[in-house]
Structure 1
């Protein structure tokens, strides 16, 4: 057995299955395409689910891939064990109704024993209890009987709800007795570290239906998964994934940054492993366009990145460093995944920005923790238990680790019940699981026309024309397939051909009409969306007459809306090009929306655009429009399109043959949307908004054509109204507003001066009310001020004039009373506590409050009781000072 590097193992696997007639596909994005059941791609087969279900036609019936994957359910174990990780690569070979067990089992054995040269005596396999075919095939290739183990449904039968499923066969490597548990029952499937499962062959041969029956599939499939990192541990003879060559390279670089030697300190090793794993996930996620945010996959990214940053602090690393480690991930994986090499600058920028923001965030957590402890000491000095629920709030809100909270509070003499923290954590996980269960769709997605079979498909003719005759091949009313639909019915319609564009790639679906041949019946179509097999499902309402399956009808796309949408879509392409020209090549689309009224374009950028940058982008796009360039659309092979410089737009899934949209010599992109024939048809382009939507993501909203005219008309109307209100001609509006602003500033200065004079006058009167209590100067009074802020300022002024003493002020409004108490530090040392004073007298005015020993304030609903509260204040002050 050769000590092969991870990159070499990957290449050998893919080359081996290419030699068996498989098409090598590059890894799909970590962002699932049209699959709401997954947040992130977590297995090799997940991106190809539509090929297995028949919703999409695969580029070939035999495919092999090495898929990048993210899994986070066990994130808390990452770093603590030798095998847990959030990022991994899954190699697989797949058959979509082509070959089956008689081919895949001999191939697997050949690759393991001939290509990798692993000792056959080290190999064990498991099979499903009654899978006799798999048993005979393993025996036929040379596996001894005592190396085959039968396991039950839990271990060796793959299914997920209803849909395709079947038995599986797992392949194990025996690491030797020294890794075993010593039990007589030890064998493949044991929890010890002796037998390592590295390849799973899934034989998808049944269709599980709603009643629980398993129906044989006409065309069984093969789905296999081999963990690349796990295979590398075997081939390199190391104990865990962190010692594999490429991963160890990253780990060693982290050690060089923190000055630690891996293996010397168990606790520090945990932090080193966490960072090593997490930076791989972060690099690949950002490489696939995921940006840090507070929801969805962006939240997963943020959590992983911040968890790694926290462990950097634990290792003593100061400031941002993960962005630097990312380049080492790219160095060892960039050849296999060129997208991260191409986007290295963007990846490092995003990571650095998020690290710097986290530095501020964790400082907020420290401030919050300190505030919690101060409040606890004030409320109950004898309490030495810090709530586990409060610790969880710090973790959940600020990303503040429990271990750090525990360390800090223990220094202050507190303990934390870990079980309370765990209970709060488990409760949150349960809420998340419940939410996922409610939001998930079935793994094997369905569409309402699937019962009609795979032949019930349509042809899209909307690139060439907006009207076409067609035949109705399916109707759905009230979620049921019907033969007829009648006036008043909300209906879903499937036609044999259609000019209606289905919502895709950020472009909305077409609207329009479906009419009977004689014009007596009408369906108003309000949307068009894709179903399985790229079916165009028309959503509408029967407003006149009746329709039936088999009927010949006429379709009419709303021409005005279609062309307005096309203007915005072509302008989106021109906008992206202009943004790259003005802001830099790091600009990449992160989302889009194209409708008849506007376009929305999300893109990577790290700060708000300057006014001059927005203006320049507008100029470039409008100049491109005025050049009256032809807009060409054509199909070609994806590799040829990329050689031409075509850019891929976010959200699109590309096959071998792609559609290219080319605007003169200005821009070229891959896109399946509808477009103009000439750039001049876009009319005027206008950016009407630019703002941030997530860390490192900006959003532009813009209009074209008549929508820009209407926008300008609206702005002109607003300017005219504003000019009339300030009695100025439109061209003198700015000068008039500046004049009014100067006048307001002068009036504000006059008001401030008068307030200061009034305060000085009132301060003079208040000085006469100062008296002593227990030898301390005290000022207690009701004051006439406009608001609480003025009361606070006056309180500070009087305290400064007194030099030493206590100030208690009250303010009564029609329906509310406000109280404030302040004191100098020397008086606090004598026993005065403003917070406790306010807490007691606030009850008298029907309220509550508190604060620090030197300053506190409160409010209440009984202004009539203010005098009584102020009388109480003097008694409480006397008691507090006398006690010392």
Structure 2
């Protein structure tokens, strides 16, 4: 296997770029055209892992990051809110969910799980005519495509919406009517989901062959006539009842496949023959020793070698970009998809290319060198990506071994002709990480069928449970849809209502007087389906109020929402149970307790600050924890070093009971590391450092050397800086690159915080665990929760000290009790480690005593048994049943039987009845010499007949145990009578 250095050296000596249209030029010309000629804003690709969109596994289209604009929920403080026209090339992954091309990759020459989607957008600006004109000029003038090979399709209409004749007429200005073709909803009507913005679209198709009428091949799944660009005209909203309503603003969303366009411009019939893949194919050949790639498909591809090339090259792209953007292989969600992608690549590489285990990670440097200039994030995360893939490759074989055993065990229990259970397949992959496609293959090998319907049903059940939980949270369990989407926010704007002034949420312990601006009972709950009403009463059930101002914190950034009350001038009262923000409008969700609330009513907003205080404490200490982890794990000298190790925030949760912090790190923290982290946090509390907050221009703030920002997070401009230090933030901004700032916690944050760290009082880490490959989680508590944890630890330590003074059975009993309690105790993980050491000394002392006591009992038992054997032998008997109470430990019984088998009575069959008073049960053990006619299993069965004994064995050795002690005498009598 060639080394990474060998591959890198060889590839640097080779040229892969196409002379006329190299991939970098294809990208740059697209951006240039729309920016310089049509006033678009060049907007960066979002991460292909949409951390802020729970509805998506991966970014699967260029429009994903603009959903808040389409839905009318974009925070007006973000730069994105000001976009009118945008252009970019978006990193996309289609390997799970609604759009899933995973199983097709490799089988043909144009499917990918990772690809780039070049697109341009209009947000309430130009519409159909502008989009079509720009697309035509881009294709024919910028890229010089032969217009005689272009075909356009448009929506033919259905019973809910008319044919898009406007688009047809616009295209017929450029193409003859014979090449402007109508198609149905499946091809030419785009929808964001079951509900939400949607509209007709036109697709541009290209005939690779040319010189013919290829209209009949459009949308016929012919590789020579392919779709290259889709122009979506977002003009409707799909309601819950499936009806269509006009959107308040119309948008354009286009997407063109970068890889497909490259194949056309570079003169290839295959996407995989372009300079996008050439370096990867050369690297694959060097690292596996396989023959050269020849581009064959199907039966012509002997040994499916070319298919394996395509699979491996595509999948290393997917894994590299997904991991760099924050996802890791795991057993659920997008993590499971990545695990399946990786294992598919490894299987094809090893089975079809002859690669050695560990080959896959060696391809990452080639990809990074090739695409790192366009996407520098993969350069920064190269080492982390390699580490994760190496670990996942190594664990693959172990998982397969365990999964195969479990699969075989479940197959053995199947009745003849039965299908392999969908529930069992679901268990294999969710609990054991065993790929479903492997389950299918193994079923085929055994001649059985997987219950795919049952498996899909289990997957759907999980998804529905998750969706139901989210809906219940957003509706207070009422079943209503209390989200404000495009129609709702547009209605508010159109009636002159400004977004909510939420600045008062940062002022503590003050109720504010404001005005009710909107009363909301839920989407679809009114005749016009929008959901706004003039007045709310107790009969409204779960509902919402939008006010001109609010001092309530709306859930975001990992911090839970505030609760409290809104009171009206006439004594009316509204209980606030949940607070969410949509497009800058803060919605207070809850119920009217008394009276009523109407639009323009005066309102007094009162937050439950007693509840908010521990939330703020946990939030402030999350910042300190973030700082402490970086200090302990990577060291001050590596902070800000893009090529060094990193500890990146991957998620957080702050509520009134705890803080939870997820971060990237490849292994579990040692007790010493946790102790140092906890100590730093406690020291910061003792120092009573001020929590400073300051708004600054985003460009200036991002220059601070020690700044911590969450990857993929969108920040407003100006941005809110939270610094936990004594130096004023304006002074930090004057000299942002000073290394001294590395000693402080400095983050972008919109949450509520303490005045100074001393208000947190105490800090205790309750647990540290892995939640996914390369992702760790710390759960901690502050204030009263931390104090309780420390008191519990102190109490436990005293109990351990007291237990150490006990002797004999009391020591053993207390040691067991303490051990059972400690694992579940809510105390510091550091203290728990120390207590485990103390408990181990207690259990060792108890174990030593138990062994000594057991030896005494066994020695006494041997004497008694020898006497009984002597008497039996003198009486001419060949068996003996005797009661000797040494407990029910099987090892002790084996030791006794071993002594007998080598002594003077080895030719006797022996059955022992022994009571275990501590466990309140008894056992029978039987042994007979070779050739004896006595069947020990039957002998044990006879002794425990009618007593519901459990156990088994063979003719010359058997055992059984029985709960309770009532039958012990009867068992001896039955054994002697056998």
TM-score with structure 2 setting the length: 0.74
**Secondary structure of 2:399's aligned partner:** helix
Q: Does 1:673 align with 2:721?
A: no
Residue equivalent to 1:789:
890
Residue 514 of structure 2: which of 434, 449, 470 is its match? 470
Residue equivalent to 1:63:
86
Distance 1:206 1:592, change over 3 A: closer
For the Cα contact (< 8 Å) 2:288–2:359, is it kept in 1?
no
Q: Which moved more, 1:449-458 or 1:25-34?
A: 449-458
Instruction: Measure the CA separation in 1 of the matches of 2:359 and 2:772.
Output: 22
Residue 620 of structure 1: which of 680, 683, 703 is its match? 680
Q: CA deviation at 1:553?
A: 1.9
Residue equivalent to 2:694:
634
Counting only pairs closer than 5 Å after superposition, residues 120-269 of structure 1 correspond to structure 2 as: 120-129=147-156, 130-140=163-173, 142-159=174-191, 160-176=193-209, 186-209=216-239, 213-261=243-291, 262-263=293-294, 265-269=302-306
Q: CA deviation at 1:156?
A: 1.4
Residue equivalent to 1:14:
31
Q: Which moved more, 1:281-290 or 1:432-441?
A: 432-441
Instruction: Measure the CA separation in 2 of the matches of 1:725 and 1:272.
Output: 65
For the Cα contact (< 8 Å) 1:173–1:195, is it kept in 2?
yes
Q: CA deviation at 1:572?
A: 1.6
Distance 1:42 1:736, change over 3 A: closer
Instruction: Measure the CA separation in 1 of the matches of 2:39 and 2:113.
Output: 32
Distance 1:552 1:360, change over 3 A: same
Q: CA deviation at 1:240?
A: 3.1
Residue equivalent to 2:332:
295
Q: Does 1:38 align with 2:56?
A: yes
Residue equivalent to 2:826:
none
Q: CA deviation at 1:575?
A: 1.7
For the Cα contact (< 8 Å) 2:881–2:976, is it kept in 1?
no
Residue 87 of structure 1: which of 114, 132, 143 is its match? 114
**Secondary structure of 1:577's aligned partner:** helix
Instruction: Give per-residue Cα distances to partners, 1:236-281, cap 9 Å, x unaligned.
Output: 2333333332333223323322211234743343333333222222
Q: CA deviation at 1:504?
A: 0.6
Residue equivalent to 2:661:
601
Residue 322 of structure 1: which of 323, 335, 360 is its match? 360
**Secondary structure of 1:52's aligned partner:** helix
Distance 1:242 1:516, change over 3 A: same
Instruction: Measure the CA separation in 1 of the matches of 2:927 and 2:255.
Output: 69
Q: CA deviation at 1:60?
A: 0.8
Q: CA deviation at 1:208?
A: 4.0
Q: CA deviation at 1:233?
A: 2.1
Residue equivalent to 1:660:
721
Instruction: Give per-residue Cα distances to partners, 1:685-712, cap 9 Å, x unaligned.
Output: 4433323333322222233445544543
Instruction: Give per-residue Cα distances to partners, 1:343-378, cap 9 Å, x unaligned.
Output: 2222222222222222321222355567789x79xx
Instruction: Measure the CA separation in 2 of the matches of 1:762 and 1:551.
Output: 93
For the Cα contact (< 8 Å) 1:795–1:807, is it kept in 2?
no
Instruction: Measure the CA separation in 2 of the matches of 1:192 and 1:834.
Output: 73
**Secondary structure of 1:654's aligned partner:** coil
Instruction: Give per-residue Cα distances to partners, 1:266-315, cap 9 Å, x unaligned.
Output: 33433333332222222222222223332222222222223333334424
**Secondary structure of 1:454's aligned partner:** helix
Instruction: Measure the CA separation in 2 of the matches of 1:270 and 1:431.
Output: 32
Instruction: Give per-residue Cα distances to partners, 1:51-70, cap 9 Å, x unaligned.
Output: 11212153311112222222
Counting only pairs closer than 5 Å after superposition, residues 257-406 of structure 1 correspond to structure 2 as: 257-261=287-291, 262-263=293-294, 265-314=302-351, 315-368=353-406, 396=429
Q: CA deviation at 1:486?
A: 4.6
Task: Extract unaligned runs of 5+ from structure 1.
Answer: 772-777, 875-884
Instruction: Measure the CA separation in 1 of the matches of 2:201 and 2:289.
Output: 46
Distance 1:624 1:847, change over 3 A: closer
Distance 1:484 1:144, change over 3 A: closer
Residue 780 of structure 2: which of 691, 694, 702 is its match? 702
Instruction: Measure the CA separation in 1 of the matches of 2:954 and 2:30.
Output: 68
Residue 647 of structure 1: which of 708, 716, 726 is its match? 708
For the Cα contact (< 8 Å) 2:518–2:546, is it kept in 1?
yes
**Secondary structure of 2:34's aligned partner:** helix
For the Cα contact (< 8 Å) 2:46–2:712, is it kept in 1?
no
Residue 649 of structure 2: which of 581, 589, 593 is its match? 589
Residue 545 of structure 2: which of 482, 486, 493 is its match? 493
Q: Does 1:460 align with 2:502?
A: yes
Cα-Cα RMSD:
4.9
Q: CA deviation at 1:722?
A: 5.9
For the Cα contact (< 8 Å) 1:817–1:845, is it kept in 2?
no
**Secondary structure of 1:593's aligned partner:** strand
Instruction: Give per-residue Cα distances to partners, 1:819-862, cap 9 Å, x unaligned.
Output: 889999x99xxxx9999999999999878988999999888999
Q: CA deviation at 1:212?
A: 5.2
Instruction: Measure the CA separation in 2 of the matches of 1:689 and 1:150.
Output: 60
Instruction: Give per-residue Cα distances to partners, 1:213-243, cap 9 Å, x unaligned.
Output: 5444453211111112222222223333333
For the Cα contact (< 8 Å) 2:803–2:842, is it kept in 1?
no
Task: Extract unaligned runs of 5+ from structure 2.
Answer: 1-17, 157-162, 295-300, 472-480, 526-530, 635-644, 726-740, 807-833
Instruction: Measure the CA separation in 2 of the matches of 1:451 and 1:235.
Output: 45
For the Cα contact (< 8 Å) 1:345–1:586, is it kept in 2?
no
Distance 1:246 1:714, change over 3 A: same
Instruction: Measure the CA separation in 1 of the matches of 2:781 and 2:425.
Output: 46
Instruction: Measure the CA separation in 2 of the matches of 1:281 and 1:799.
Output: 66
Instruction: Measure the CA separation in 2 of the matches of 1:806 and 1:255.
Output: 70
Q: Does 1:754 align with 2:889?
A: no
Instruction: Give per-residue Cα distances to partners, 1:800-834, cap 9 Å, x unaligned.
Output: 7599999997879899998889999x99xxxx999
Q: Does 1:97 align with 2:149?
A: no
Instruction: Measure the CA separation in 2 of the matches of 1:594 and 1:236.
Output: 52
For the Cα contact (< 8 Å) 2:697–2:717, is it kept in 1?
yes
Instruction: Give per-residue Cα distances to partners, 1:484-542, cap 9 Å, x unaligned.
Output: 33599655322111011111111111233323347x44444343222x32322223455
Distance 1:805 1:41, change over 3 A: farther
Q: CA deviation at 1:792?
A: 7.3
Instruction: Measure the CA separation in 1 of the matches of 2:872 and 2:144.
Output: 96
Residue equivalent to 1:76:
103
For the Cα contact (< 8 Å) 1:842–1:849, is it kept in 2?
no
Instruction: Measure the CA separation in 2 of the matches of 1:868 and 1:404.
Output: 56
**Secondary structure of 1:510's aligned partner:** coil
**Secondary structure of 2:216's aligned partner:** coil
**Secondary structure of 1:260's aligned partner:** coil
Q: Does 1:537 align with 2:563?
A: no
**Secondary structure of 1:797's aligned partner:** helix
Instruction: Measure the CA separation in 1 of the matches of 2:364 and 2:942.
Output: 57
Q: Which moved more, 1:796-805 or 1:445-454?
A: 796-805
Residue 525 of structure 1: which of 576, 598, 603 is its match? 576
For the Cα contact (< 8 Å) 1:565–1:597, is it kept in 2?
yes
Distance 1:854 1:101, change over 3 A: farther
Distance 1:576 1:145, change over 3 A: same
For the Cα contact (< 8 Å) 1:462–1:498, is it kept in 2?
yes
For the Cα contact (< 8 Å) 1:91–1:226, is it kept in 2?
yes
Q: CA deviation at 1:42?
A: 1.7
For the Cα contact (< 8 Å) 1:250–1:329, is it kept in 2?
yes
Distance 1:733 1:334, change over 3 A: closer
Count residues in correspondence.
Answer: 841
Q: Does 1:509 align with 2:547?
A: no
**Secondary structure of 2:604's aligned partner:** strand
